[in-house]
Structure 1
Protein backbone atom coordinates (compact mmCIF):
# COMPACT_ATOMS: atom_id res chain seq x y z
CA UNK A 1 0.00 0.00 0.00
CA UNK A 2 1.23 3.45 -0.93
CA UNK A 3 1.17 6.10 1.77
CA UNK A 4 -0.64 9.18 0.50
CA UNK A 5 0.13 12.23 2.67
CA UNK A 6 -2.55 14.80 3.30
CA UNK A 7 -1.80 17.85 1.14
CA UNK A 8 -4.68 20.04 2.26
CA UNK A 9 -7.43 20.36 4.87
CA UNK A 10 -10.60 22.06 3.65
CA UNK A 11 -13.44 23.61 5.61
CA UNK A 12 -16.94 24.36 4.36
CA UNK A 13 -17.94 27.88 5.44
CA UNK A 14 -20.53 30.57 4.70
CA UNK A 15 -17.90 33.23 3.87
CA UNK A 16 -14.39 32.27 2.75
CA UNK A 17 -12.89 35.70 3.45
CA UNK A 18 -14.23 35.89 7.01
CA UNK A 19 -13.13 32.31 7.71
CA UNK A 20 -9.62 33.02 6.39
CA UNK A 21 -9.35 36.13 8.58
CA UNK A 22 -10.50 34.17 11.67
CA UNK A 23 -8.03 31.35 10.99
CA UNK A 24 -5.20 33.82 10.46
CA UNK A 25 -6.04 35.60 13.74
CA UNK A 26 -6.04 32.29 15.65
CA UNK A 27 -3.17 30.42 13.98
CA UNK A 28 -1.15 32.88 11.87
CA UNK A 29 -2.00 31.09 8.62
CA UNK A 30 -1.99 32.77 5.25
CA UNK A 31 -1.92 34.89 3.24
CA UNK A 32 -5.05 33.66 1.46
CA UNK A 33 -5.68 33.66 -2.25
CA UNK A 34 -9.42 33.88 -2.96
CA UNK A 35 -11.05 32.66 -6.16
CA UNK A 36 -14.71 33.53 -6.64
CA UNK A 37 -17.10 31.54 -8.81
CA UNK A 38 -14.51 28.93 -9.78
CA UNK A 39 -15.38 27.74 -13.29
CA UNK A 40 -16.03 24.04 -13.85
CA UNK A 41 -16.08 22.60 -17.36
CA UNK A 42 -17.90 19.48 -16.13
CA UNK A 43 -19.43 18.32 -12.87
CA UNK A 44 -21.02 15.05 -11.77
CA UNK A 45 -22.69 14.82 -8.39
CA UNK A 46 -23.14 11.16 -7.43
CA UNK A 47 -22.92 10.21 -11.10
CA UNK A 48 -25.44 12.76 -12.42
CA UNK A 49 -24.70 16.06 -14.21
CA UNK A 50 -24.82 18.96 -11.76
CA UNK A 51 -24.01 22.62 -11.37
CA UNK A 52 -21.56 23.74 -8.71
CA UNK A 53 -20.67 27.39 -8.24
CA UNK A 54 -18.17 27.77 -5.42
CA UNK A 55 -15.55 30.14 -4.08
CA UNK A 56 -12.39 29.15 -2.23
CA UNK A 57 -9.68 30.76 -0.13
CA UNK A 58 -6.28 29.01 -0.17
CA UNK A 59 -3.56 29.63 2.39
CA UNK A 60 -0.74 27.87 4.16
CA UNK A 61 -0.66 26.70 7.79
CA UNK A 62 2.78 25.32 8.51
CA UNK A 63 3.42 22.50 6.03
CA UNK A 64 -0.23 22.15 5.06
CA UNK A 65 -2.49 24.04 2.67
CA UNK A 66 -5.77 25.23 4.16
CA UNK A 67 -8.83 25.79 1.98
CA UNK A 68 -12.06 27.50 2.94
CA UNK A 69 -14.86 26.78 0.48
CA UNK A 70 -18.36 28.17 0.14
CA UNK A 71 -21.09 27.03 -2.23
CA UNK A 72 -22.68 29.95 -4.06
CA UNK A 73 -25.60 28.16 -5.74
CA UNK A 74 -28.46 26.23 -4.15
CA UNK A 75 -28.95 22.52 -4.59
CA UNK A 76 -27.41 19.18 -3.76
CA UNK A 77 -23.65 18.80 -3.66
CA UNK A 78 -20.84 17.03 -1.88
CA UNK A 79 -20.73 20.09 0.40
CA UNK A 80 -24.43 20.01 1.22
CA UNK A 81 -24.20 16.26 1.88
CA UNK A 82 -22.29 17.13 5.05
CA UNK A 83 -23.59 20.63 5.70
CA UNK A 84 -27.22 20.82 4.55
CA UNK A 85 -28.31 23.90 2.67
CA UNK A 86 -29.71 26.50 5.06
CA UNK A 87 -28.42 24.71 8.18
CA UNK A 88 -25.86 27.40 8.99
CA UNK A 89 -23.41 24.63 9.87
CA UNK A 90 -19.72 24.87 8.99
CA UNK A 91 -16.72 22.65 9.58
CA UNK A 92 -14.12 20.35 8.14
CA UNK A 93 -15.23 18.96 4.81
CA UNK A 94 -12.31 17.12 3.24
CA UNK A 95 -8.65 16.36 3.14
CA UNK A 96 -6.89 16.34 -0.23
CA UNK A 97 -4.54 13.67 -1.55
CA UNK A 98 -2.43 13.52 -4.70
CA UNK A 99 -2.98 10.31 -6.69
CA UNK A 100 -1.46 9.08 -9.95
CA UNK A 101 -4.82 8.46 -11.63
CA UNK A 102 -8.04 10.06 -10.33
CA UNK A 103 -10.41 7.70 -12.15
CA UNK A 104 -8.48 4.56 -11.14
CA UNK A 105 -8.50 5.82 -7.54
CA UNK A 106 -12.27 6.46 -7.71
CA UNK A 107 -12.71 2.82 -8.80
CA UNK A 108 -10.39 1.56 -6.04
CA UNK A 109 -12.28 3.48 -3.35
CA UNK A 110 -15.62 2.28 -4.79
CA UNK A 111 -14.37 -1.31 -4.54
CA UNK A 112 -13.84 -0.64 -0.82
CA UNK A 113 -17.39 0.71 -0.44
CA UNK A 114 -16.69 4.45 -0.70
CA UNK A 115 -18.83 6.28 -3.26
CA UNK A 116 -17.69 9.14 -5.45
CA UNK A 117 -19.76 12.14 -4.35
CA UNK A 118 -18.26 14.53 -6.93
CA UNK A 119 -16.15 14.26 -10.05
CA UNK A 120 -15.36 17.55 -11.74
CA UNK A 121 -13.13 19.11 -14.35
CA UNK A 122 -11.99 22.69 -13.86
CA UNK A 123 -11.93 25.29 -16.60
CA UNK A 124 -8.20 24.60 -16.93
CA UNK A 125 -8.74 20.84 -17.37
CA UNK A 126 -7.77 19.65 -13.90
CA UNK A 127 -9.80 16.59 -12.83
CA UNK A 128 -10.70 16.19 -9.16
CA UNK A 129 -13.04 14.02 -7.15
CA UNK A 130 -14.60 13.86 -3.69
CA UNK A 131 -14.83 10.40 -2.15
CA UNK A 132 -17.52 10.00 0.51
CA UNK A 133 -15.78 8.66 3.61
CA UNK A 134 -18.06 10.45 6.08
CA UNK A 135 -19.42 7.25 7.65
CA UNK A 136 -15.94 5.85 8.32
CA UNK A 137 -13.75 8.95 8.73
CA UNK A 138 -16.10 11.88 9.33
CA UNK A 139 -15.12 13.76 6.17
CA UNK A 140 -14.70 13.50 2.41
CA UNK A 141 -11.39 12.78 0.68
CA UNK A 142 -10.50 14.88 -2.36
CA UNK A 143 -8.33 13.36 -5.08
CA UNK A 144 -6.11 15.23 -7.55
CA UNK A 145 -3.32 14.18 -9.89
CA UNK A 146 -0.18 16.21 -9.15
CA UNK A 147 0.04 18.01 -12.48
CA UNK A 148 2.71 20.68 -12.89
CA UNK A 149 0.07 23.43 -12.70
CA UNK A 150 -1.37 22.01 -9.46
CA UNK A 151 1.98 21.44 -7.75
CA UNK A 152 3.04 24.90 -8.93
CA UNK A 153 -0.08 26.37 -7.32
CA UNK A 154 0.67 24.57 -4.04
CA UNK A 155 4.27 25.86 -4.19
CA UNK A 156 3.04 29.43 -4.82
CA UNK A 157 0.80 29.27 -1.73
CA UNK A 158 3.65 27.89 0.42
CA UNK A 159 6.09 30.50 -0.92
CA UNK A 160 3.65 33.31 -0.11
CA UNK A 161 3.43 32.08 3.48
CA UNK A 162 7.23 32.14 3.80
CA UNK A 163 7.23 35.72 2.52
CA UNK A 164 4.63 36.70 5.14
CA UNK A 165 1.24 38.28 5.10
CA UNK A 166 2.31 41.91 5.00
CA UNK A 167 -0.60 44.26 4.36
CA UNK A 168 -2.60 41.89 2.16
CA UNK A 169 -4.09 38.94 4.02
CA UNK A 170 -6.72 38.39 1.29
CA UNK A 171 -5.51 38.37 -2.31
CA UNK A 172 -7.63 37.76 -5.40
CA UNK A 173 -6.81 34.98 -7.86
CA UNK A 174 -8.57 33.65 -10.97
CA UNK A 175 -8.64 30.18 -12.51
CA UNK A 176 -9.70 30.87 -16.08
Structure 2
Protein backbone atom coordinates (compact mmCIF):
# COMPACT_ATOMS: atom_id res chain seq x y z
CA UNK A 1 0.00 0.00 0.00
CA UNK A 2 1.39 3.38 -0.99
CA UNK A 3 0.60 6.20 1.38
CA UNK A 4 0.41 8.50 -1.68
CA UNK A 5 -1.53 6.36 -4.16
CA UNK A 6 -3.22 3.46 -2.35
CA UNK A 7 -2.74 -0.15 -3.48
CA UNK A 8 -0.74 -1.15 -6.53
CA UNK A 9 -3.42 -2.36 -8.92
CA UNK A 10 -1.33 -3.30 -11.96
CA UNK A 11 2.16 -4.43 -12.90
CA UNK A 12 3.03 -3.42 -16.46
CA UNK A 13 5.57 -5.39 -18.47
CA UNK A 14 7.07 -3.99 -21.67
CA UNK A 15 7.93 -6.87 -23.96
CA UNK A 16 9.34 -7.39 -27.44
CA UNK A 17 7.00 -10.31 -28.29
CA UNK A 18 3.57 -10.06 -26.69
CA UNK A 19 2.41 -13.45 -28.00
CA UNK A 20 5.40 -15.20 -26.42
CA UNK A 21 4.82 -13.26 -23.20
CA UNK A 22 1.15 -14.28 -23.03
CA UNK A 23 2.14 -17.91 -23.68
CA UNK A 24 4.64 -17.74 -20.81
CA UNK A 25 2.07 -16.31 -18.41
CA UNK A 26 -0.53 -18.91 -19.45
CA UNK A 27 1.64 -22.04 -19.57
CA UNK A 28 4.34 -21.31 -16.99
CA UNK A 29 2.59 -18.98 -14.56
CA UNK A 30 -0.99 -20.26 -14.99
CA UNK A 31 -2.35 -16.71 -15.30
CA UNK A 32 -5.25 -15.85 -17.59
CA UNK A 33 -7.41 -15.41 -19.45
CA UNK A 34 -5.75 -12.64 -21.44
CA UNK A 35 -7.79 -9.86 -23.00
CA UNK A 36 -5.73 -8.88 -26.04
CA UNK A 37 -5.96 -5.65 -28.04
CA UNK A 38 -3.85 -5.96 -31.18
CA UNK A 39 -3.78 -2.22 -31.93
CA UNK A 40 -4.78 0.17 -29.17
CA UNK A 41 -6.61 3.26 -30.38
CA UNK A 42 -5.65 6.28 -28.29
CA UNK A 43 -7.54 9.57 -28.33
CA UNK A 44 -4.15 11.20 -27.85
CA UNK A 45 -0.68 10.24 -26.68
CA UNK A 46 1.97 12.73 -25.56
CA UNK A 47 5.62 12.00 -24.81
CA UNK A 48 7.27 14.74 -22.74
CA UNK A 49 4.60 17.19 -23.85
CA UNK A 50 4.78 16.43 -27.59
CA UNK A 51 2.32 14.45 -29.69
CA UNK A 52 3.57 10.93 -30.39
CA UNK A 53 1.90 8.46 -32.74
CA UNK A 54 2.57 5.38 -30.63
CA UNK A 55 1.27 2.10 -31.99
CA UNK A 56 1.02 -0.65 -29.42
CA UNK A 57 -0.58 -3.93 -28.53
CA UNK A 58 -1.64 -4.71 -24.99
CA UNK A 59 -2.84 -7.76 -23.11
CA UNK A 60 -4.49 -7.74 -19.68
CA UNK A 61 -5.11 -10.52 -17.17
CA UNK A 62 -5.47 -10.76 -13.42
CA UNK A 63 -3.59 -12.73 -10.80
CA UNK A 64 -5.96 -12.24 -7.88
CA UNK A 65 -6.64 -8.54 -7.48
CA UNK A 66 -3.41 -7.58 -9.27
CA UNK A 67 -3.76 -6.90 -12.96
CA UNK A 68 -0.87 -7.87 -15.24
CA UNK A 69 -0.43 -5.76 -18.37
CA UNK A 70 1.78 -6.71 -21.30
CA UNK A 71 2.72 -3.96 -23.76
CA UNK A 72 4.47 -4.32 -27.09
CA UNK A 73 5.19 -1.08 -28.93
CA UNK A 74 4.79 -1.66 -32.67
CA UNK A 75 6.64 1.39 -34.04
CA UNK A 76 9.54 3.73 -33.23
CA UNK A 77 7.49 6.67 -31.95
CA UNK A 78 8.93 8.23 -28.81
CA UNK A 79 7.55 6.82 -25.55
CA UNK A 80 8.71 5.62 -22.18
CA UNK A 81 8.16 2.06 -23.48
CA UNK A 82 10.68 2.68 -26.28
CA UNK A 83 13.09 4.32 -23.83
CA UNK A 84 12.88 1.24 -21.60
CA UNK A 85 13.60 -1.17 -24.45
CA UNK A 86 16.33 1.06 -25.91
CA UNK A 87 18.07 1.00 -22.52
CA UNK A 88 18.30 -2.78 -22.85
CA UNK A 89 15.43 -3.63 -20.54
CA UNK A 90 12.47 -5.93 -21.02
CA UNK A 91 10.02 -6.86 -18.31
CA UNK A 92 8.46 -4.94 -15.43
CA UNK A 93 8.39 -1.28 -16.47
CA UNK A 94 5.69 0.27 -14.32
CA UNK A 95 3.34 -0.12 -11.40
CA UNK A 96 -0.09 1.44 -11.76
CA UNK A 97 -2.40 3.04 -9.30
CA UNK A 98 -6.06 3.47 -10.21
CA UNK A 99 -8.28 6.36 -9.26
CA UNK A 100 -11.84 7.55 -9.61
CA UNK A 101 -10.53 11.04 -8.71
CA UNK A 102 -7.92 11.16 -11.46
CA UNK A 103 -7.54 14.94 -11.85
CA UNK A 104 -6.99 15.48 -8.13
CA UNK A 105 -4.38 12.68 -8.04
CA UNK A 106 -2.69 14.06 -11.19
CA UNK A 107 -2.45 17.53 -9.66
CA UNK A 108 -1.13 16.08 -6.38
CA UNK A 109 1.61 14.23 -8.27
CA UNK A 110 2.67 17.42 -10.05
CA UNK A 111 2.59 19.35 -6.76
CA UNK A 112 4.90 16.73 -5.23
CA UNK A 113 7.39 17.33 -8.04
CA UNK A 114 6.72 14.33 -10.28
CA UNK A 115 7.34 15.02 -13.98
CA UNK A 116 5.14 13.67 -16.75
CA UNK A 117 6.97 11.25 -19.03
CA UNK A 118 4.08 10.26 -21.23
CA UNK A 119 0.34 10.43 -20.98
CA UNK A 120 -2.71 9.75 -23.04
CA UNK A 121 -6.34 8.91 -23.22
CA UNK A 122 -8.32 5.92 -24.45
CA UNK A 123 -12.08 6.02 -24.91
CA UNK A 124 -12.81 9.54 -23.72
CA UNK A 125 -11.97 11.73 -20.72
CA UNK A 126 -12.51 8.93 -18.19
CA UNK A 127 -9.80 6.88 -19.91
CA UNK A 128 -6.83 9.08 -19.04
CA UNK A 129 -3.47 7.69 -17.92
CA UNK A 130 -0.13 9.22 -17.04
CA UNK A 131 3.35 7.77 -16.52
CA UNK A 132 5.76 9.86 -14.49
CA UNK A 133 9.47 10.05 -15.25
CA UNK A 134 11.68 7.84 -13.13
CA UNK A 135 15.42 8.23 -13.19
CA UNK A 136 15.82 5.84 -10.27
CA UNK A 137 14.74 2.26 -10.70
CA UNK A 138 13.90 1.15 -14.28
CA UNK A 139 11.11 -1.24 -13.26
CA UNK A 140 9.23 1.12 -11.00
CA UNK A 141 7.78 3.87 -13.18
CA UNK A 142 4.57 5.21 -11.62
CA UNK A 143 1.41 5.16 -13.71
CA UNK A 144 -1.89 6.62 -12.62
CA UNK A 145 -5.04 5.59 -14.46
CA UNK A 146 -8.58 6.93 -14.41
CA UNK A 147 -11.04 4.11 -13.79
CA UNK A 148 -14.14 6.24 -13.22
CA UNK A 149 -15.66 5.28 -16.58
CA UNK A 150 -15.86 2.30 -18.90
CA UNK A 151 -12.23 1.32 -18.29
CA UNK A 152 -13.02 0.61 -14.64
CA UNK A 153 -15.90 -1.68 -15.61
CA UNK A 154 -13.69 -3.46 -18.16
CA UNK A 155 -10.94 -3.97 -15.56
CA UNK A 156 -13.51 -5.47 -13.17
CA UNK A 157 -14.69 -7.82 -15.96
CA UNK A 158 -11.09 -8.99 -16.44
CA UNK A 159 -10.68 -9.57 -12.68
CA UNK A 160 -13.87 -11.62 -12.51
CA UNK A 161 -12.93 -13.69 -15.57
CA UNK A 162 -9.74 -14.79 -13.79
CA UNK A 163 -11.52 -15.93 -10.62
CA UNK A 164 -12.66 -19.30 -11.94
CA UNK A 165 -10.62 -19.54 -15.14
CA UNK A 166 -10.03 -23.18 -16.07
CA UNK A 167 -7.24 -22.64 -18.60
CA UNK A 168 -9.45 -22.64 -21.69
CA UNK A 169 -9.91 -19.74 -24.09
CA UNK A 170 -6.63 -18.31 -22.84
CA UNK A 171 -6.34 -15.38 -25.26
CA UNK A 172 -9.47 -13.35 -25.97
CA UNK A 173 -9.32 -10.72 -28.70
CA UNK A 174 -10.84 -7.35 -27.82
CA UNK A 175 -11.90 -4.79 -30.41
**TM more than 0.5:** yes
Give unpaired runs (5+ residues) of structure 2. Answer: none
Change (3 A) 1:63 1:111: same
The residue aligned with 1:83 is: 85
Contact 2:10 2:95 in 1 (8 A): yes
Matched, 1:8 2:7: no
Aligned CA RMSD, in angstroms, stands at 2.1
Give the 4+ runs in structure 1 shifted more than 4 A: none
**Aligned counterparts of 1:102 and 1:63: Cα–Cα separation in 2:** 20
Deviation per CA, 1:143-164: give whole Å up to 9, x if none. Answer: 1122141221111111111231
Give unpaired runs (5+ residues) of structure 1. Answer: none
Equivalent pairs, count: 172
The residue aligned with 1:73 is: 75
Q: CA deviation at 1:100?
A: 4.3
Q: TM-score, normalised by structure 2?
A: 0.87
**Aligned counterparts of 2:160 and 2:62: Cα–Cα separation in 1:** 9
Contact 1:132 1:139 in 2 (8 A): no
**Aligned counterparts of 2:138 and 2:80: Cα–Cα separation in 1:** 15
**Aligned counterparts of 2:50 and 2:35: Cα–Cα separation in 1:** 31
> Which region of structure 1 is more displaced relative to structure 2, 124-133 or 151-160?
124-133
The residue aligned with 1:92 is: 92
The residue aligned with 1:131 is: 132
Deviation per CA, 1:4-49: give whole Å up to 9, x if none. Answer: 1111101000122210110222221111010011001111100111
SS at structure 1 position matched to 2:61: strand
Q: How does 1:26-175 map to 2 (within 5 A)?
A: 26-84=28-86, 87=88, 89-125=89-125, 126-135=127-136, 138-174=139-175
Contact 1:17 1:170 in 2 (8 A): no
Q: TM-score, normalised by structure 1?
A: 0.86
